[in-house]
Structure 1
């Protein structure tokens, strides 16, 4: 009999909202991987669930996962402020890495983390899962094929159904532009095939005063100038009472492509009072399972074939630069060029 197909031994750090979603995807890909070791500071809360999934190496210390010789690749799904240090430690141990965005809170920290990964020769993929969404990917493919000609305007809407679970989470998130709008920055440049040249951002606290007291915003509108001459507008909110609102529109010289919200069904009830349809999926767990699965497949394929991941560390660094430009734009109420955002050593040279 031929030998069993080799599977990638995985370790997962963090079993919060995103970690659980990643783990569910990986458990659907048992022909390509085996989740061997999981760490979380509150691992006992999740022990029963993890053991039901067949995972029995459980730890409250992330170092146990990184040091495990059976673990060949690590998923970093911890709080934002820990991504950079964990990425560097995993890279130095020779582990391939999937890391949620952003890879660090600062430009210097992100560049250092990427340099460590490069020097270690490990693969790094960053979690911009919307690139793998079937609808968004279809818009990109059809625009790139020339279906609607040259793009003039893009519009992206991303609104959560409810604020994050705690103010402590807000404080460790890096802020709305880094935690939420970063996905939209990445989608803009990925779909348009052009880099973002300048940013004008406005933000407000409209949902929860406690978010403002924690130093963040919960509502924003951002205008982007692209190098190819196109314009992109983005709007975000931490609370859309009707569900998870994820839409994108690309307007070109020959027409328009539009990705609308996904709903549980496409059934319409048409009566004398009017037409009733389903609301959008309530949260990202329901909206993006397919994109998360495709994202995991992409990472595992890259690890097994030693090929470049679809979403690189350079993509994460670019999104971070744009988010930092948005921070300055909102604070100083001006248009900020992305090339203003430099490492401190670059600015000094």
Structure 2
């Protein structure tokens, strides 16, 4: 049984607390947050203790920590936790700064403890089945990937200002999905961005609508489309064209009822937001972390994966700023 300390008590931490407590191989023992009341309430809900982050990190009975704090604290907590001898699962991204994330990776290598980055979409049952079909050769060599990721509504501008921007905050999941599906990193990245949803997002220096086209060394192509607004719900689709066929993973709907009349065919909308859509993925992600840690295996979404996705986000930002395709090596080797 793994004893787990949870750093953070916000919305995503609540999701993780549920997954930790539901797993037969882990036990939530401590919760810390910058708001002590939030930590106390979440800890009480699961029979855990509310402690400070320092108390959790210095507690020798805690085997691993899950980091679900603000992004600007991720690298520091990863370093402190691994130095304290604890395994880590940290929410994405590793950091908003690529250089800081690389420094974190160097520190972690010196400490020798496993770190997993929370790219939960790898563990979505539909996307995982798609990856398994590709690996089994069911559609031959992959040739084109299309990832669609639309939020139902934009976040508050106060969030946008500290998020790192749409490429680091939102599209980073899709950059990781491209790594996961295509089995490697692209050679070039061309990004475009607009502000079509909320002018305040543009005033904050960010985009709410963006597309990235990536080309691989062997000529394969991946296209990622993001929008902060889809009035019909949380739109999450992946399509892969291969030499021998096509794989498609569609939206999860609010229900499976389809009404067919002389006026047309109507089905339910997509699930409203990521908490509903991806709860099974969060549970599977935690299960994969526990299994890898228990068996001494490599984590299925590594710190290196997190840095690679951050590098793609950085390349996308530079591509928009410079209005040109960017060779990913320009970022990776800088």
Instruction: Give the TM-score, by structure 1 length.
Output: 0.92
| Contact 2:30–2:43 (Cα < 8 Å) also in 1 | no
Deviations 1:229-287 (A, max 9, x none): 21011100112111110000001222211000011322201123222211001111111
Aligned 8 A contact 2:56 2:62 in 1: yes
Instruction: Give ranges in structure 1 of 5+ residues lacking alignment.
Output: 1-6
Residue in 1 that maps onto 2:109: 118
Aligned counterpart, 1:97:
88
Q: Which residue of structure 1 aligns with residue 50 of structure 2? A: 58
Equivalent residue runs for 1:237-248 within 5 Å: 237-248=227-238
**Structure 1 position 334, deviation (Å):** 0.3
Which residue is equivalent to 1:4?
Answer: none
The residue number in structure 1 matching 2:27 is 34
1:306 and 2:299 are equivalent in the alignment = no
Per-residue deviation, 1:42: 1.7
Cα distance in 2 for partners of 1:187, 1:52 equals 33
Q: Which runs of 4+ in 1 moved over 6 A?
A: none
Q: How many residues align?
A: 334
Structure 1 partner of 2:311 = 321
1:45 CA displacement:
3.7
The answer for the alignment partner of 1:263 in structure 2 is: 253
Instruction: Specify the alignment match of 1:213 in structure 2.
Output: 203
Q: Structure 1 residues 50 and 99, CA, compared in 2 at 3 Å: closer, same or farther?
A: same
- Hey, what does 1:335 align to over in structure 2? 325
Structure 1 position 46, deviation (Å): 5.4
Q: Which runs of 5+ in 2 are unaligned?
A: none
* d(CA) in 1 for partners of 2:242, 2:6: 42
CA contact (8 A) 1:163 1:238 kept: yes
The match for 2:18 is 24
The whole-number CA distance in structure 2 between the counterparts of 1:68 and 1:243 is 43
Residue 281 of structure 1: SS of its match in structure 2? coil
* Partner secondary structure for residue 258 of structure 1: strand
Give, in angstroms, the shift of residue 170 of structure 1. 1.7
Distance of 2:21 and 2:28 partners within structure 1: 8
Equivalent positions of 1:149-188 (< 5 A) are 149-164=140-155, 166-188=156-178
Corresponding residue to 1:47 among 36, 40, 51: 40
Q: Secondary structure at the match of 1:295?
A: helix
Cα shift readout 1:146-205 (whole Å, capped 9, x = no counterpart) = 2212222111000111222x3332222221111111111111121122321110000111
Shift in alpha-carbon separation, 1:172–1:65, aligned structure 2, 3 A? farther
**Secondary structure in 1 aligned to 2:187?**
strand
**Partners in 2 of 1:13 and 1:211 — Cα distance?**
29
Q: Does 317-326 or 266-275 show the bigger shift?
A: 266-275
CA contact (8 A) 1:221 1:236 kept: yes
Contact kept in structure 1, 2:151 and 2:235, CA below 8 Å: yes
Q: 3-state SS of the aligned residue for 1:74?
A: strand
Quick check: 2:192–2:211 contact (8 Å CA) kept in 1?
yes
**Alignment RMSD:** 1.4
* Aligned partner of 1:289 among 279, 283, 299: 279
